[in-house]
């Protein structure tokens, strides 16, 4: 019933892909989630319409290396800083946060200043996202 393995340690990268706020654009989030899965990562998808609180609690319970937020609704300036703030409150500064979607360059610069490690806009190759996510793994 249980396979006998010789207890080789495997540590897939765990990534949370979240859709905060009322935004329902999920095409990109799902494409990215699948690309990460196909690159061997374990992807926790939170579903739509999550509050920053729900996303951070999920990230905590799932012990992810990376939180990826997908926002195309223009509400990033409210939602992303809130997620960063809550992560800090939980002592989860080691969890990397990346953002994807429609984010004007001047806003992206501000989000990076606040601690977001990368912002990926339309037209980004999924390979680039995979490469970057790998580089965010804890202990990598």
Partner 1 sequence: MSLGKDILQGDRRALARALTLVENQMPEADEIVREVFGHTGRAIVVGITGAPGVGKSTLVDRLTGHFLSLGRQVGVLAVDPSSPFSGGALLGDRVRMEGRGSVVFMRSLAARGHLGGLARATPRAIQLLEAAGKDLILLETVGAGQSEVDVMGYADTTVVVVVPGLGDDVQAFKAGILEIGDVFVVNKADRPGADQTMRELRQMLSLGPRKAWQPPVLAAKAQSGEGIEEIAAAVLQHKDSAERNPEVGTRHVREAERFLRQALADQLVAHAVARAKAAGRWESLVEDVARRRKDPVWAAKELEGGEERE
Partner 2 sequence: MAERRETLSGLEVKPVYRPQDAQVDHDRDLGEPGAYPYTRGIHPRMYRDRLWTMRQFAGFGTARETNERFHYLLRQGQTGLSTAFDMPTLMGYDSDDAHSLGEVGREGVAVDSLRDMERLFEGIPLGEVSTSMTINGPAIILFAMYLAVAERQGVSWSQVRGTLQADILKEYIAQKEWIFPPEPSMRLIVDMMEFATREVPQWNTISISGYHIREAGSTAVQELAFTLADGFAYVEAGMARGLEVDAFAPRLSFFFNAHIDFFEEIAKYRAARRIWSRRMREKYGAKNPRSWMMRFHTQTAGCSLTAQQPEVNIIRTAYEAMAGVLGGTQSLHTNSMDEVLSLPTEKAVTIALRTQQVLAHETGVADTVDPLAGSYFIEELTNRMEAAAEEYFRRIDELGGVLAGIENGFFQREIADAAYRYQLEVDRKERLIVGVNSFVEPDEEPIPTLRINPALEETQVKAVQAVRAERDQAAVDRALEAVRQAAASDTNLMPPILDAVRAYATEGEIVRTMRTVFGSYREAAVF
Gap between the Cα atoms of 75 and 40, Å rounded: 31
Verify binding: residue 127, partner 1, rule CB under 8 A. Answer: no
CA terminus-to-terminus distance, the chain: 34
Which of 66, 79, 84, 136 is close enough to bind partner 2 by CB under 8 A? 79
Q: How far is the CB of 51 from partner 2 (least distance, A)?
A: 8
Pick what 120 binds: ligand B12, partner 2, partner 1, none; C-beta below 5 to 8 Å, kind-dependent.
ligand B12
Verify binding: residue 43, partner 1, rule CB under 8 A. Answer: yes
Question: How many CB atoms neighbour CB 14 within 10 A?
Answer: 17
Gap between the Cα atoms of 96 and 93, Å rounded: 7
Which of 101, 111, 116, 130 is close enough to bind ligand B12 by CB under 6 A? 101
CB-based contacts of 14, cutoff 8 Å, min separation 6: 41, 42, 43, 44, 62, 63, 64, 65, 66
- Interface ranges with partner 2 (CB under 8 A): 21-27, 30-31, 33-35, 45, 47-49, 73-75, 77-79, 102, 104-105, 121-123, 125-127
């Amino acid at each position: 019933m249980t396979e006998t393995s010789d207890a080789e340690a495997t540590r897939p990268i765990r990534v949370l892909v979240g859709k905060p706020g009322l935004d329902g654009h999920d095409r990109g989030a799902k494409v990215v989630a699948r690309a990460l899965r196909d690159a061997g990562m374990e992807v926790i998808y939170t579903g739509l319409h999550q509050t920053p609180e729900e996303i951070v609690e999920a990230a905590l319970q799932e012990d992810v290396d990376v939180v990826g937020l997908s926002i195309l609704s223009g509400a990033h300036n409210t939602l992303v800083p809130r997620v960063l703030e809550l992560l800090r409150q939980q002592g989860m500064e080691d969890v990397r946060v990346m953002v994807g979607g429609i984010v004007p360059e001047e806003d992206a610069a501000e989000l990076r200043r606040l601690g977001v490690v990368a912002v990926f806009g339309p037209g980004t190759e999924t390979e680039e996202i995979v490469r970057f996510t790998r580089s965010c793994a804890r202990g990598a």
